[in-house]
Amino acid sequence: MSLSRRSFLLTTGAAVAAPLDALRARLEAGAAAPAELGYGPLRPVTDATTGMPLLELPKGFRYITFGWTGDAMDDGRRIPPLHDGMAAFAGENGRVVLVRNHEVGAGVAFEAPTYDSKAGGGTTTTVFDPATEKVVSTRASLSGTMRNCAGGATPWGSWLTCEESVVGPAEPQNPLPLQHGYVFEVPHDRGSDAKPIKAMGCFVHEAVGIDPQTGIVYQTQDRTQSGLYRYIPTTRNKLAEGGRLQMLAVDGRLAFNTSRGQRAGATYDIHWVDIAEPDRPHAGGASGYGMGVLQQGLDRGGAIFSRLEGAIFGDGRLYVTATDGGEAKMGQVWEIDPRRDLLRLLFESPGAPVLNMPDNLALSPRGGLVLCEDGTMTACVHGLTREGRIFRFARNNIKISEPRNGLTGDFSRREFAGATYSPDGKWLFFNAQTPGITFAVTGPWAEGGL
């Protein structure tokens, strides 16, 4: 992802498609997509932690902030910047464990042990107590990685953090000692072993979605030309023990381009082609830098998407977003039915006022969807009800006049990232990637569909 990325924890597979299907039906029937439904109009709300009105929210909602860039962790080290993908897990005594990405590029690793001492990205883990509304602890859980963007939670209680970079020894301008472009596993209750899962592929990773019935891991790739991949582990739930990497292909259509000329509801039979060398980062020559895995798939007829980003698995299907796919280049939502080997275009945004380049999707415990955008308009978190009504839930209002940890300025046009619900569904957590803040929002969820 770029400077605005999000990742979500999917706690249940119920009714994932229903809100998107309903939205498409409303648009086809000529119904407008209201901007201020759901919980009502937005208004500035003061942060209980700092006293600053950093968010606009509907009436009845409140929030606190923590995990600011530069805050001290348990060992005295400072929290890194560029907060991104995140997932929430059940901790002890009702506490919530948050594993958070930091999309930092080359630099000094912020903790040891690390993967690459010259890479500044990684993850931090925070324990939050809803009873006291306080942070219990924060520690580093992975470091020495590059541009940890999105990822996904596993059914067995870990976070898969993905590198959105393939820099390494062959980088033409600023080479790093080790190759990047991998997935790392971070258990929620301890640190990572900092070992890349190379069999999952070396490419510009984005998000993952896991089929809980089969243990197959689906992976998105964020490039203008990107592929959709699946990783079939040799041993279920043991990703590091190796597996088989494949890329989606459309039957009878070699290197089929899904990004233009589509209509909502279009359905295609699909198959999967093997990637013989998942750890091949480059395809040869300057134009092939970082294209090794993608090119292998294209050579065997793999399908092309435009900037695949978000991924969730639910109701027996995988849902992914192509952030700038579609005629208006405002985004597509695709559905993959792995039991029937079918690909379907579920929704294509007709323009920014309806949906402005969707990134990740989060399923609410109450059956709605959270949509985060990666577009050109005001940074917002949207809600989408089961009935297909889309509305703004939160708007960025971050303007810091009194420096905090050296942070000051107007960040109101910066993107949100990492939205995820607490296991009990009472708190929605998300990040402001810049300046680097974690928000915890609570309120009357049942009144508006999220």
Where do the domains of the chain lie? 17-444
CATH annotation of 17-444: 2.120.10.30
* CA–CA dist 5, 310 (Å, integer): 9
Beta bridge partners, 226, equal 305
* CA–CA dist 86, 149 (Å, integer): 9
How far CA 193 is from CA of 123, 190, 242, in Å, comes to 12, 9, 16
Strand spans (E) along 164-301:
183-187, 205-210, 217-221, 228-233, 243-250, 267-274
Q: b/e map of 8-41 (b: 16 or more CB within 10 Å)? A: bbbbebebbbbbbbbbbebbeeeeebeeebbbee
- pLDDT tens by residue, the chain, 450 residues: 432 333 322 333 445 677 877 877 887 787 755 555 689 999 999 999 999 999 999 999 999 999 999 999 999 999 999 999 999 999 999 999 999 999 999 999 998 779 999 999 999 999 999 999 999 999 999 999 999 999 999 999 999 999 999 999 998 888 999 999 999 999 999 999 999 999 999 999 999 999 999 999 999 999 999 999 999 999 999 999 999 999 999 999 999 999 999 998 899 999 999 999 999 999 987 788 899 999 999 999 999 999 998 898 887 889 898 989 999 999 898 999 999 999 999 888 888 887 778 777 777 888 887 877 776 667 889 888 878 788 889 999 999 999 999 999 999 988 888 889 999 999 999 999 999 999 999 999 998 888
pLDDT of 415: 86
Beta bridge partners, 125, equal 99, 139
pLDDT of 10: 30
- Shortest CA distance to 418 belongs to which of 435, 404, 400, 437? 437
3-state secondary structure of 156: coil
